[in-house]
Chains A and B, each alone.
Chain A
Amino acid sequence: MRYQTQKVAYAYFLAAMALFAIQVMGGLLAGWIYVSPNTLSEVLPFNVIRMIHTNALIVWLLLGFFGAAYYLVPEESEREIFSVKLAYLQLGILVIGTLGAVVSYLVGIHGGREFLEQPLWVKFGILVGAVIFLVNISLTFLTGRKTAITNILMMGLWLLCLLWVFAFINPDNLSLDKMYWWMVVHLWVEATWELVMAAILGFLMLKLTGVDREVVEKWLYVIVATALFSGILGTGHHFYWIGTPGYWQWIGSIFSTFEVVPFFAMMSFAFVMVWKGRRNHPNKAALLWSLGSSTVAFFGAGVWGFLHTLHGVNFYTHGTQITAAHGHLSFYGAYVALNLAMFTYAMPALRGRHPYNQALNMASFWLMTGGMAFMTFTLTFAGTIQTHMQRIVGDYYMDVQDQLGLFYLMRFGSGVAVVLGAILFIYSMLAVRREAVKPGLVAVPGE
């Protein structure tokens, strides 16, 4: 840690990990309800649990991104953060808003647009937090050295904050509502968040492998170009069946097919940088998470996305467990694992330590990644059967679901592995043993 104000990231990462714990617990409970549907059905219905599961995920990923920006921008810009107070104020607003949303959901106060269920005051809180963030980070960025990593990161963060405006636009016409809803949902995870991901991955590669900055930055621009060229019109793959014109079937199919490219490029980029790099960085766990993130993102977002993105296929698979399989693996690979890579890289520096608990951390990687992969396979098989029975044969929804119990049981098992992995990860971050050799006790020659 070269700049004192980078310390702000520590608080962001702690808050993010607390919400991460809530998110996976909510997921496990929801997974159990699939197995045993009467659980809590009168007290805490499935829809409330799912809101907590998805909202906690989105907020902790954003807190992770904000924290990563506060860690990374000073180092790249060679400047202290403009205002530490503003950064803590922003965190305070976001945490209060998040807790407020969770309490609201538990007492039954919420909206009904998926992922955007937050009460209006929370939405405004997020807006205020985002504006504070943009002011703070932009003033740091503008007065310092500009690199491709910060250019791309800033562009991603600015655009994702601006797109939040669509969270307030809710037309009475359902089809219009759905179309504008995707301007937040799709253009976040399949466009602007990819810029943030590429920037953070580029930063990690630069630090961990020691490859020449010029090489890293050139390829970053190529990667984000393929992300936006495919991702913007790729929005069309959500416009097949919601009342939008038929031409989206072709635009969506063609451009979203190319959405595989940036994820393949990020995976190749990460591995090539590691092969080329001569630096033997001591933080092996951060390297594992970085490579793992780009690889699982390629499979989850790239391969599993392509699996059902062509309109001829999507006509049958739309809104089945196939979508759930893709959603889980892509979020895990692209954004969860990337955030955990950043935490793993930055935490030792933030705590003034050498990398610690690396074996535990790497074990948590394999536990979580194995769990998520198994979950994806079970949901894919469940979705395949569902697609055939419901969409081809025409059996009714609940009759089909009754046939899928075994898959949901296996999914719950894989969820247990993921939760154990998450707990292990958080433990490996927080529980630091005392240094064997106390600094200061060693006699320094010449003093």
Chain B
Amino acid sequence: MSEFLTKSRARNVFYGGSLFFVVVFVALTAQSHRHIVATSTAGMPLTEEVRLGKHVWERNSCINCHTLHGEGAYFAPELGNVMTRWSVADDPEGAYQMLNGWMEAQPSGIEGRRQMPHFEITEEEMRGLAQFLRWADQTDTQNWPPNDAG
């Protein structure tokens, strides 16, 4: 073993092999990029409203309590399917009404219950956020999560 595997052989295998895997990875990433744009997220157009909603989502750092498609903090419920859970995935106005009602009621102030802060969000931004969550909901996530509970 020690005669066959010299230091320079080990080094060359490392450099050559890594380069091979990088090339494969880049090719698959390019293919995945096309798949996301053309197929998995194509169910609903990426409108200005959805873009605004994503910015609202980011500016308020929602990800550091909630998960979205299972990624984020684990302190608050999954939101990738929240519009399905609320039965408003196909109802833009209903989605806004539900989300607005929920967020206006926060924080609940109930003792011993996790508190969601109150966010200063305009109506336009709230509508954007609702559409952004609907947009996320229609993404083809290989049937994840297993059920509506998220």
Contact = CB atoms under 8 A, between A and B. Distances in A.
Interface string A175-203: 11111000000000000000000000000
A217 B32 CA distance: 37
A397 B67 CA distance: 11
Interface string B18-42: 1001101100110111011100110
Given A47-B73, A229-B17, A390-B149, A218 B46 contact: no
A244 interface: yes
Contacts of A232: 18, 21-22, 24-25
A198 to B, nearest CB: 11
Contacts of A219: 10
B123 interface: no
- Give chain B's interface residue range (CB within 8 Å of chain A): 35 or more
B120 to A, nearest CB: 10
B87 interface: no
Contacts of A352: none
B107 interface: yes
A42 B107 contact: yes
A148 interface: yes
B46 A241 contact: no
Contacts of A34: 75
Interface in B97-138: 107, 111-115, 117, 132, 135-136
Interface residues of A, number: 70
Contacts of A280: none
Contacts of A320: 74
B25 A249 contact: no
B115 A175 contact: no
A174 B139 contact: yes
Contact of A319 (B10, B74, B117): B74
Contacts of A391: 145-147, 149
Contacts of B113: 37-38
B58 interface: yes
Given A46-B65, A316-B146, A38 B21 contact: no
Contacts of B70: 241-242, 318-319
Interface in A138-188: 148, 151, 172-179
A151 to B, nearest CB: 8
A214 interface: yes
Contact of A246 (B11, B36, B139, B142): B142
Contacts of A148: 7, 11
A173 B46 contact: yes
A243 B35 CA distance: 8
Contact of B7 (A221, A242, A248, A323): A221
A319 B46 contact: no
A299 B32 CA distance: 32
A242 B64 contact: no
A235 B17 CA distance: 16
Given A47-B64, A179-B36, A318-B144, A225 B7 contact: no
- Which 10 pairs between the two chains have the least Cβ-Cβ distance? A112-B58, A319-B70, A47-B64, A241-B144, A41-B115, A221-B10, A225-B14, A397-B77, A318-B70, A243-B40
Given A110-B59, A117-B64, A392-B146, 10 more contacts: A36-B112, A45-B117, A47-B65, A112-B57, A176-B33, A218-B6, A232-B21, A243-B69, A246-B142, A319-B78
